[in-house]
Amino acid sequence: MQYRQEYAEPQTQFIDAQSPPEPTEAPRSRRRRPRWQKVALITFLVMALLGGGGLIAGGLYFRSINSGIERVDAFDGVPEESRPEVVAQGAMNIMILGSDSRDPENSSGSRTDTIILAHLPKDRQSAQLISIPRDSWVSVPESPQGRGGKDAKINAAYAWGGVPLMVQTLEKFTGVRIDHVAMVDFAGFKEIVDALGGIDITVDQAFTSKHSLNPDGRREFVAGRQTMDGATALDYARERYAFAEGDFTRIKHQQQVIKAILDKAVSGGTLASPTKLNSFVRATADAVAVDESMSLVDLAMQLRHMRSGQLGFFTCPTTGTGRMGTESVVLVDKPKASRVFDAVRRDSVEEIASAVK
């Protein structure tokens, strides 16, 4: 994976219901910014979980991997006075972003297709992953370059102000202070899954992907449990047009794939094989960029006992879709969302789950 640490100049015409209005130009920063490739998942957490097991045997190896991970200046220009206060000392909240340049709608790399707020409680005995639909209609703060400052789809914030404006937007929307940022280059996802020898997924319903990595752009998925290689899993996690619920179904599939990766990554077969372990860890490290202060090695040590059964997967409450002017958007259920994120702020794990229902 090669990240260019500068904002990509958006050139795509945002004409569908899944995309924000096209910005005319994107902001620049003092430091280089990453050029993303598609749909982000939380392979950073996979790295952390697997790293915990490997650290017991070889800390220096994983520290060398950690030192080579791309860094981004995620909080540059974010005004401290506008940020939420820390309510629960010791808990950690991580904003996870991702995009896919192979999406036929996205040629600029300036959109973020996946937004996840990951909450790690103080006791580090679990993790709550809250997906936020990319078309959620929210208030976007104004960037230092004068972009934003109005209601829009949440993923417009990245196009208008990069990662710092995404931090500001998510903090304003949730009232949760973001401690760290992780970005995943989903183009590296294929190599991650292949390094594991494939993952097991149960497909609920048969469907056809018409935006596949196959030469003809099509892939047939049959219902039932099956082992997917990297290309198949990528097609499965990125497809949304085949479903009536569109991006909501894609979010469910992404969460399903995350769990499958974690299950396979911490299996005895991976941990016991130096070759598989090395291939997987290096593939994951190549697909991840994090903020300048995050240490995946330290995080791995904190999460080394966690398994996929201790992960809670949720989606920000919504009332469905609607229209704002000419745009088709996702409408947030504000009362329910407020209860969810208040529970996150207070580090109340039980209340997070009950508030989403």
Q: Fill in the DSSP letter of residue 223.
A: S
- Here the tokens at position 171 are 């903090």
User: How do strand 70-72 and strand 288-291 relate by DSSP bridges?
Assistant: parallel
Report the pLDDT value the prediction gives residue 101, as an integer from 0 to 100.
Answer: 47
**98 closest CA partner among 45, 46, 42, 139:** 42
- Answer whether 110's CB lies under 8 Å from 7's CB: yes
Q: Are 13 and 45 in contact (CB under 8 A)?
A: no
- What is the span of the domain harbouring residue 336? 43-192+286-350
Q: If the chain, 357 residues long, is cut into consecutive pieces of 10 residues, what is the mean pLDDT of each piece?
A: 37 35 40 31 46 45 69 92 95 86 45 87 93 96 94 94 96 98 78 90 96 92 96 91 91 88 76 74 79 81 76 93 94 97 96 87
- Residue 229 forms part of a structural domain: no
Structure tokens that stand for 175 in this block: 């009232």
Residue 261 lies in a domain: no
Cβ contact 115:171 at 8 Å: no
**CATH number for the domain harbouring residue 185:** 3.30.420.590
Burial 279-307 (b: 16+ CB within 10 A, else e): bbbebbbbbbbbbeebebbebbbebbebe
In a domain, 135, yes or no: yes
**Would you say residue 269 lies in a domain?**
no
Classify residue 13: in a domain, yes or no: no
Residues contacting 357, CB < 8 A, separation 6+: none
pLDDT of res. 10:
34
Residue 308's pLDDT is: 73
* Domain assignment present for 74: yes
Q: Look at residue 235 and tell me if it is in a domain.
A: no
Task: Give dist(CA 186, CA 101) in Å, integer.
Answer: 9
pLDDT (0 to 100) of residue 227: 97
Q: Which helix (H) or strand (E) holds 231?
A: helix 230-238
Say what the pLDDT of residue 357 is. 72
Give the pLDDT confidence score for residue 44 in this predicted structure.
47
Q: Specify the pairing of strand 180-184 against strand 288-291.
A: antiparallel
d(CA 87, CA 53) in angstroms, rounded, equals 31
pLDDT in the model for residue 38: 27
Number of domains in the chain: 1
Between the CA of residue 298 and those of 164, 182, 285, what are the distances in Å?
Answer: 24, 15, 15
Reduced to 3 states, what is the DSSP secondary structure of residue 33?
Answer: coil
Q: From residue 63, how far is each of 265, 319, 321, 335 by CA, in Å?
A: 19, 45, 45, 43
Residue 32 included in any domain: no
Residue that has been written with the tokens 């989903």 in this structure: 186
Tokens of 158: 């990245």
Tokens of 236: 């499965």
Whole-prediction pTM: 0.79
- Distances in Å between the Cα of 263 and the Cα atoms of 100, 120, 306 are 24, 19, 11
